[in-house]
Amino acid sequence: MKKKSLGPRLRTRGGLSVRKRWTQTIMELKRPHKCPTCGWPSLKRMSVGIWSCGNCGSRFAGGAYQPTTKTGLASQRVASSKTQQTTII
Ligand SMILES: [Zn+2]
């Protein structure tokens, strides 16, 4: 991947707090993420919301800046509870 300078993109509107939050988001994005399939921290973001593992090659959809999001976990919980309900019925 081509290394992009963070300089020009830091010029965000909204002052220091927004820039700080933005830097945190990018740091979170660049941090190695653990693969949910093999457990190796070789997960990389292919595109916005698309994550790929360099170790086992699995590819899945996730958050824009993190492989798992709070909303994603919540929807997973809802989905699992729904399937449980169907099995009970
Ligand atoms: Zn993996």
**CA 47 to ligand 1 center in whole angstroms:** 17
Distance 39 CA to ligand 1 centre (A): 6
* pLDDT above 70: percentage of residues in the chain: 72
| Nearest C-alpha neighbor of 67 from the set 35, 24, 26, 39 | 35
Give pTM, 2 decimals: 0.54
Helices (H), the chain: 16-30, 70-88
CA of 86 from ligand 1 middle (Å) equals 31
Q: What is the pLDDT of residues 49-62, one digit of tens each?
A: 888 999 999 998 88
pLDDT band at 41 (very low <50, low <70, confident <90, very high): very high
Question: How many A from CA of 44 to the centre of ligand 1?
Answer: 10
**Domains of the chain, start order:** 33-89 (2.20.25.30)
